[in-house]
Structure 1
Amino acid sequence: MVVSEELNKTVKVREGEELDAKQIDTILKDRISGLVGTPVIRQFASGHSNLTYSIQYNDRNLVLRRPPFGTRPKSGHSMIREYRVMNAIKPAFPAVPHTYFHMTDEESPLGAEFYVMEQVEGRKLERDIPADWHFGAEEGRKLCLSFFNRLIDLHKVDFKAIGLDDFGKPEGYVERQILGWNSRYERAVTDDVESFEDVRKWLVEKMPSGEVGHSILHGDYRLDNVILCENNPFEIKAILDWEISALGDPLMDLGNTLAYWSQDGDPEELINMRMQPCNAPGMLRREEICELYEKATGYDLKGFAYYHVYGVFRLAVILQQIYYRYYHGQTKNPAFAAFGKRTNLLGNYARSLIEKSDI
């Protein structure tokens, strides 16, 4: 058996998060034909809020996704949500893994709901493009165009035609997001971070009067959240992490993506925080990306500064929520110690974007 570790960055399952291999084998072979041998179970190193396992058989690798162990909010960590959107969207949008089945809390022998999908083999990027790819500006631009064209393709999917018209309430999405993230920040403020009341007030007062349209939103679209074809890195084989997907204004999705996107001229501290190779030679600047998006969709992006500020502040809130737990001793992970400073950095960056905007 070839244990797929190099490309998919799997590690030994973390203590307290183990799965029973015999139990998993029985569940999978009852529902998926052609599985041979005994599975090797490993865990993906870059875990998100939900737990992701690699289930490796002789000639086929699968992925199992489940919520974290322990007490969790009833409305949080929904497996059926991401299973449903991937299952529905696959015929119209091939860049998602094939899903096999989902089990609810009530029927699951694991004590929690879960679903199983194919493990898409390929390359997952991190902060930098691998040196052995020998990418120059031309290749970097081609990769960047492929990445953003897939987001455009997603936003063009007719969600009603594929049965996702009841996936959420798209109307009023902008207002719900702004008020929701403002409220989350208020609850997570610590003594060593600013309140950024001015930023929150601006987001409310300058809220667009209407929405450009409604689309399927990924919610966390980044270069390090896609699987690239090993033999053709310009081909996106699969987009991962659909857990916060929704229906809403697509400019909010683009705003979130470009909040992660850094480029020359940005504060050096922000560039150092990057999680993806967005500053590699040939990568488009945010202005060019907006032009590409506007031309492809027909949406008016003259007021896009608002959505960029929203994306930056949303990212600040996410970091601050993590830092709040560290500040109050709810987690000891030393990696979170600097998150308060990053919150202030992002909040101040949002202020600078507001000052430069003509909104």
Structure 2
Amino acid sequence: MALTDSSTRIRPGEELDANRIDPYLKGQIPDLEGTPTISQFPGGASNLTYLIDYPGKELVLRRPPFGHKAKSAHDMGREFRILNQLKDAFPYCPKAYAHCTDENLIGSEFYVMERVKGIILRSDLPQELALDADATRTLCKRFIDTLVELHRVDYNACGLGDLGKPQGYVQRQISGWSERYEKALTPDAPRWEAVKDWLQTNMPADHPTPGIIHNDYRFDNVILDPADPMQIIGVLDWELTTLGDPLMDLGNTLAYWIEADDPAPIQRMRRQPSNAPGMLTRREFVDYYAERSGIEIDNYDFYYTYGLFRLAGIVQQIYYRYFHGQTRDKRFAQFVQMNALLEHMSLNVIGRSSL
């Protein structure tokens, strides 16, 4: 199917040397033959993702971005471990084959995993899928069900009990993202002082049942089966995964969830088809998640506002690299305006909140 996610030419400054990578991969993965061609997947704004195409086998390579980056945000070994140890309990994880710690090979650590070929939904639903509102609603609910399924995984049984520290998670996220935001400030960026104060004042206790949280769960990190696009067959981008409050993870996902009646400036920020006829609204999303997870949610405004602030922190970290000339990717030039819009959205939520 033409809708299968495709790679393209590598962006300038982000090239990989096939002659250096090929011997390493052949020493780690059996039955590789020939010389690979390398291309790049255009999506994503953090870790870089490449297609390593051998005759008869396709691999995906993940490496950190070039330039300034948070020390803990691009741990290739950690992501490699998560994929391998979580896969049995959560079969949407791609199989990871090799983790290279020798930074001399390509200038950083990296890992290589299987390519899960499928459809990735980006800004709009492709017309070729011919999904009516009822089918879209069903797909949306399956998207939420998969998140609930992840949050229910027994992380101790997977050997991932040391992945994070659930106790004090909410407090650490608010203070941690505040600190990271300050470190990534540029002269043209908003300060977010009122929002940070509100989050600190209205912080709830940690949910009593922590779980594995993805921290970047959205439709463009989900792979649909080309033979049956109503089925989810993969979940990508595990770099931020940890143990913590599942409602904070819900807030992260809500921050990306732009619905049909959001104003035009917000619509221009949309990166997934969450506005399509049949998609749940944010309120319906929360209610359905609560129903399927059995978790009562009485302070939705806090989690949504936290998600918006955290997203602004990620956006600003990326913009910092662009501002200081550490990346030439022109997509990032407007990220400071996106940051300002996220602050405006947060202030609107706070202004209407009953908290």
Deviation at 1:268, TM superposition (A): 2.3
Partner of 1:40: 37
Partner of 1:279: 275
Alignment of 1:168-207 (within 5 A): 168-207=164-203
Deviates more, 1:227-236 or 1:10-19: 10-19
- CA–CA distance in 2 between the matches of 1:12 and 1:189? 32
Conserved in 1, the CA contact under 8 Å of 2:69 and 2:317? no
Q: Normalising by the residue count of structure 1, what TM-score does the alignment of the two structures yield? A: 0.91
Conserved in 2, the CA contact under 8 Å of 1:212 and 1:299? no
C-alpha distance 99-321 of structure 1, shift in aligned 2 (>3 A): closer
| Structure 1, unaligned runs of 5 or more | none
Deviation at 1:299, TM superposition (A): 1.2
Q: Give the counterpart of 2:307 among 308, 311, 316.
A: 311
Alignment of 1:234-313 (within 5 A): 234-313=230-309
Q: Give the counterpart of 1:219 among 174, 196, 215.
A: 215
Deviates more, 1:308-317 or 1:217-226: 308-317
Matched letter for residue 308 of structure 2 = V
Partner of 1:21: 18
Deviation at 1:87, TM superposition (A): 0.7
* Residue-by-residue CA offset, 1:157-206 (whole Å, 9 max, x unaligned): 00011100011212111111101112233344455554332211010011
Supply the RMSD in Å over aligned alpha carbons. Answer: 2.4
Say yes or no: does 1:56 pair with 2:45.
no
Deviation at 1:76, TM superposition (A): 4.2
C-alpha distance 255-98 of structure 1, shift in aligned 2 (>3 A): same
Match of 2:229, SS state, is coil
Deviation at 1:78, TM superposition (A): 0.8
Conserved in 2, the CA contact under 8 Å of 1:5 and 1:11? no
Deviates more, 1:296-305 or 1:321-330: 321-330
Matched letter for residue 117 of structure 1 = M
- CA–CA distance in 2 between the matches of 1:66 and 1:331? 15
Match of 1:233, SS state, is strand
Deviation at 1:35, TM superposition (A): 2.5
Conserved in 1, the CA contact under 8 Å of 2:40 and 2:51? yes
Match of 2:228, SS state, is coil
Deviation at 1:73, TM superposition (A): 5.7
Partner of 2:347: 351
- CA–CA distance in 2 between the matches of 1:228 and 1:130? 13
Deviation at 1:331, TM superposition (A): 5.5
C-alpha distance 38-155 of structure 1, shift in aligned 2 (>3 A): same
- CA–CA distance in 1 between the matches of 2:61 and 2:321? 28
Conserved in 1, the CA contact under 8 Å of 2:67 and 2:321? no
Matched letter for residue 79 of structure 1 = M
Q: Paired residues, what number?
A: 355
Matched letter for residue 270 of structure 1 = I
C-alpha distance 104-194 of structure 1, shift in aligned 2 (>3 A): closer
- CA–CA distance in 1 between the matches of 2:64 and 2:325? 23
Say yes or no: does 1:67 pair with 2:64.
yes
Q: Give the counterpart of 1:342 among 330, 338, 342.
A: 338
Partner of 1:160: 156
- CA–CA distance in 2 between the matches of 1:150 and 1:100? 24
- CA–CA distance in 2 between the matches of 1:74 and 1:278? 32
C-alpha distance 181-29 of structure 1, shift in aligned 2 (>3 A): same
Match of 2:156, SS state, is coil
Conserved in 2, the CA contact under 8 Å of 1:95 and 1:239? yes
- CA–CA distance in 2 between the matches of 1:131 and 1:198? 42
Deviation at 1:13, TM superposition (A): 2.9
Matched letter for residue 62 of structure 2 = R
- CA–CA distance in 1 between the matches of 2:29 and 2:206? 46
Matched letter for residue 77 of structure 1 = H
Say yes or no: does 1:91 pair with 2:83.
no
- CA–CA distance in 2 between the matches of 1:156 and 1:44? 31
Conserved in 2, the CA contact under 8 Å of 1:44 and 1:53? yes
Partner of 1:142: 138
- CA–CA distance in 2 between the matches of 1:324 and 1:67? 15
* Residue-by-residue CA offset, 1:115-161 (whole Å, 9 max, x unaligned): 11101111111101111111110111111111111100000000011
C-alpha distance 72-224 of structure 1, shift in aligned 2 (>3 A): closer
* Residue-by-residue CA offset, 1:57-104 (whole Å, 9 max, x unaligned): 222211112234567665442101111111111001101111112122
Conserved in 2, the CA contact under 8 Å of 1:181 and 1:317? yes
Alignment of 1:122-137 (within 5 A): 122-137=118-133
- CA–CA distance in 2 between the matches of 1:35 and 1:314? 41
Deviates more, 1:154-163 or 1:347-356: 347-356
- CA–CA distance in 2 between the matches of 1:56 and 1:126? 23
